[in-house]
Amino acid sequence: MILNRNDKCWCGSRLKYKNCHLDFDKKLEALKNQGCIVPTRNLIKSKEQIEGIRKSAKINNGLLDLVSENIKEGMTTEEINKLAHEYTISQGGIPATLNYDGFPKSICTSINDEVCHGIPSKDVVLKNGDIINVDATTILNGYYSDASRMFMIGEVTDKARKIVEITKECLNKAIESVKPWGFLGDIGAVIQEYAESNGYSVVRDFGGHGVGLNIHEEPFVSHFGIRGTDMILAPGMVFTIEPMINGGSHEIFIDEDNGWTAFTADGALSAQWEHTILVTEDGIEIISK
């Protein structure tokens, strides 16, 4: 269907097309004709949807703040899960990972050589020197937000602290690289360059993802890659960047017993930080902040 200039815009804003996404569509059409990969309309969030995702992220951040205030040596990962779960429910949210594809818990807790998707357990006790990623995804009124942070338990080695810090910088540099009408491939390029220049490797089997109306949407956000490639980043896109950086090789394996938890193949440490990002007209907004 061809929209007329005076018709209502396709984005749900109730504005006339000419006052809303007409110029946007022209720009994308031109880029597409130049051979660029452009996002489909279902990847462009409306103002209302963005506001819904922001509210969801507020709970998700509150959860991570609460974990940050309480996490300590001697605690089990199940206790962290309980804290997170109860907080989310108390705020009117739903933990998105609980029963997602059979995942049994409300957060992921990945310690040391666990790359991601660690399952909270009453048998896993946090020890002095551990580094742990806590990854939370919250649903509020049908809107999804996703973020994760690293925590250092007690006194950690310089080696452990360094991978945690460099991984956080990988995420920050990647966020800085995001430009409206820029390329998705720049994100992976920036992360890969910075990680590898520090002697680390980038996990390839998992990536970031579109998010907002579902836990995992398009596009797949690769954490390694080439500048000036992959999808055009248009205002209204919401996605995560969540680099998993390994101290040794990028190879991983999945726990055969639980079918979920990814470990570094060589037993080296792995770290991860995650934010949910919105591409705006003139830059970006870190929604999960």
Query: For binding to ligand MF3 (CB under 6 A), which residues are involved?
Result: 97, 100-101, 103, 108, 117, 135, 137, 146, 240, 242, 260, 274
Is position 146 annotated in a ligand binding site? yes
Query: Is 209 among the annotated ligand-binding positions?
Result: yes
Helices (H), 104-241: 158-177, 185-197
Cβ distance 131 to 160 under 8 Å?
A: yes
CA–CA separation, 189 and 205 (whole Å): 16
Indicate the residue among 135 and 217 with the shorter CB distance to Co ion: 135
Contact stretch for Co ion (CB under 5 A) within 22-30, 34-42, 158-166, 271-279? 271-279
Report how far apart, in Å, the C-alpha atoms of 194 and of each of 9, 15, 175, 186, 206 are: 41, 43, 13, 12, 18
Q: Tell me, by CB under 5 A, how many residues bind Co ion.
A: 6
The answer to whether 217 contacts Co ion (rule: CB under 5 A) is no
Q: Which does residue 97 bind out of Co ion, ligand MF3, none, counting CB within 5 to 8 angstroms by kind? A: ligand MF3
Q: Are 288 and 271 in contact (CB under 8 A)?
A: no
| From the list Co ion, ligand MF3, none, partner contacted by residue 117 (C-beta under 5 to 8 A by kind) | ligand MF3
Select from 116, 64, 157 the least CA-distant residue to 244.
Answer: 116
DSSP, collapsed to helix, strand or coil, labels residue 163 as helix
| Residue with Cβ nearer ligand MF3 (11 or 88) | 88
Decide whether 114 or 146 has the Cβ nearer to Co ion.
146
| Cα 229 to Cα 92, 116, 200, distances in angstroms | 40, 27, 23
Which residue lies nearer to ligand MF3 by CB, 103 or 200?
A: 103
Which one of the spans 83-91, 128-136, 156-164, 259-267 is the region binding Co ion (CB under 5 A)? Answer: 128-136
Binding residue per annotation — 158? no
Q: Does 114 bind Co ion (CB under 5 A)?
A: no
Residue 230 interacts with Co ion (CB under 5 A): yes or no: no
Task: Between 100 and 253, name the residue whose CB sits nearer to ligand MF3.
Answer: 100
**Coil, strand, or helix at residue 152?**
strand
Token pair for 129: 């020197």
Cβ atoms 76, 124 nearer than 8 A: yes
Annotated binding-site ranges for substrate = 117, 216
Annotated binding-site ranges = 117, 135, 146, 209, 216, 242, 274
Annotated binding-site ranges for a divalent metal cation = 135, 146, 209, 242, 274
